[in-house]
Amino acid sequence: MTRIATIVIALLATLALPFTSLADKVYLKDGRVVEGTISREGDGFIYVTYMVGQLERTEFILRVNIDRIERDKDTTETPAESPKETPAAPTNAKPSSSPKTPRPSTDLPPGTRKIAFVTLEEMVGPFMNAEALRKSIQLLEDDKPDIVVLQINSGGGALFEVQKLSDAIEHGIKPKYRVVAWVESAISAAAMTAFTCEEIYMMPEGNIGAATAFSQSGGRATAMKGESLEQLLRSQEKITRRGKHDPLVMRAMQVPTNLSCDIDDAGRVTWRNDLGGQYIVSTDKQILTLNSIDSVKYGLARSVAASKDDLARAMGCTEWVEIGLDADKYQQDFREAVQTAQVRAGELWQKMNIALDTGNAGRARSFLGQLRGLVRRAPSLETYGAGGLPPLTPEFFREVESQIDEIAKKQSGGRR
Are the C-beta atoms of 197 and 183 separated by less than 8 Å?
Answer: no
Q: How many angstroms separate the CA atoms of 252 and 233, rounded?
A: 10
Beta strands in 122-198 (DSSP E): 147-154, 178-187
CB neighbourhood size of 325 (10 A): 18
The per-residue pLDDT for 85 is 41
The per-residue pLDDT for 220 is 63
Burial of 371 (0-12, 13-18, 19+ CB in 10 A): buried
Q: Give pTM, 2 decimals.
A: 0.72
Q: How many angstroms separate the CA atoms of 316 and 310, rounded?
A: 10
Q: Which residues pair with 260 in a beta bridge?
A: 272, 280
Q: How many angstroms separate the CA atoms of 391 and 362, rounded?
A: 23
Rounded to 5°, angle at Cα 388 from 383 and 393? 30
Question: 66 by DSSP, 3-state: which?
Answer: strand
Query: How far is C-alpha 192 from the geometric centre of its chain's CA atoms?
Result: 16
Q: Which helix (H) or strand (E) holds 22?
A: none
Question: 163 by DSSP, 3-state: which?
Answer: helix
Separation of first and last alpha carbons in the chain: 111
Q: Which of 365, 368, 360, 362 is nearest to 389 (CA)?
A: 368
Are the C-beta atoms of 147 and 174 separated by less than 8 Å?
Answer: no
Question: 12 by DSSP, 3-state: which?
Answer: helix
Residue type (1 letter), 203:
M
Q: How many angstroms separate the CA atoms of 238 and 219, rounded?
A: 31
Are the C-beta atoms of 67 and 102 separated by less than 8 Å?
Answer: no
pLDDT per residue as tens, the chain (416 positions): 444 444 333 333 333 333 334 588 999 887 888 888 988 777 667 878 887 666 667 777 777 778 899 987 654 444 444 444 434 433 333 333 444 444 454 567 888 999 999 999 999 999 999 999 999 999 999 889 999 999 999 999 999 899 999 999 999 999 999 999 999 999 999 999 999 999 999 999 999 999 887 766 555 667 777 888 888 889 999 999 999 999 999 999 999 999 999 999 888 999 999 999 999 999 999 999 999 999 999 999 999 999 999 999 999 998 999 999 999 999 999 999 999 999 999 899 999 999 999 999 999 999 999 999 989 888 889 988 876 788 999 999 999 999 999 998 887 765 54
Q: How many angstroms separate the CA atoms of 184 and 192, rounded?
A: 14
